[in-house]
Structure 1
Amino acid sequence: MKKFDMLVKLYELPQLHTENPSLQANGIIIRRPMALDKDKVIHFIKTNFSTIWANECDVTFTNTPFSCFVAVKDNQEIIGFSCYDASGRNFFGPIGVKEEYRGYGLGKELLLRTLYAVREQGYAYSIIGMVAEKNAAFYQKSVGAVEIPDSYPGAYKDALGIESWE
């Protein structure tokens, strides 16, 4: 599977609606987790995605403010997450939405909320790290991201066991 990094112009992001009526009507909010949420967030990611992504998210809890967001249903269940400044400064990712909640725009909301936070730090561009080719259209359509040529494995070249990553 081909992978590459993508570049996003943060000064051309679509408008962010901090209160999405569709999500609110379904009891879904997007927020930064609290410190006491850390174990639940990491467990959610390990269970639904991968240990590698959980490790990256774990790093975001050392940043101030925490450089991740969670989507929570009815203030009980984590159903999605997104991170930045995990693999490196100004890198977006990972991001994930629980399978049964995909297709409703939640991924795009998490992406936008996170990229707006990156923009607030003063960046004009952001890097979406190690995008699988099958996911590139989502980033291109949602935020106009473009592939960075010859960017794999890029910043991840020294990661242990990268050859085995799916």
Structure 2
Amino acid sequence: MKRQYSNSLSYRNAEANDSEALTAFTKNEFGERWLPSIRSGFSKIEIPIFLARKNDEIIGFACFDVVRNEKGLFGPMGTAETNRVKGGYAIRTLSMIGRKRIVV
């Protein structure tokens, strides 16, 4: 699912070919502590990661069901420091796909 909010800002589900770029983004913005969760997400058939992109560059992400491979756990999530503003796309989308309970 892709949503375009302006000419330069969009949100979509991650795809397998996003792995390298998201790994680099995560490492540069937040260090290495979330990399195991990112790898866990990309190891699944349906990748439980949302991406925020601005001008085709990743500026944020949100994972679910990757921590301890447990359904219903949301996170990690992060936004580039230069782009931190009010959001909520990932939480709204999880609700739309039927999640009754989300633990952050």
TM-score of the superposition, structure 2-length normalised?
0.83
For the pair 1:82 / 2:62, whether they are aligned, the reply is yes
Q: How far off is 1:24 after superposition?
A: 1.4
For the pair 1:124 / 2:104, whether they are aligned, the reply is no
Structure 2 letter corresponding to 1:91: L
Q: Which has the higher contact order (CA 8 A, sep 6+)?
A: 1
When the two chains are superposed, the root-mean-square deviation of aligned CA atoms in Å is 2.0
How many residue pairs match? The answer is 101
Structure 2 letter corresponding to 1:38: S
State the partner residue of 2:19. Answer: 38
- Consecutive aligned runs of 4 or more in structure 1 exceeding 2 Å deviation: 109-113
Residue of structure 2 aligned with 1:96, choices 56, 78, 97: 78
Larger Cα Rg: Structure 1 or Structure 2?
1
Identity %: 26
Q: Please, which runs of 5 or more residues in structure 2 have no aligned partner?
A: none
Contact 1:69 1:82 in 2 (8 A): yes
State the partner residue of 2:49. Answer: 68
- 1:79-111 per-residue CA deviation (whole Å, 9 max, x = no partner) reads 0000001112210001111011112x33x2233
TM-score of the superposition, structure 1-length normalised?
0.54
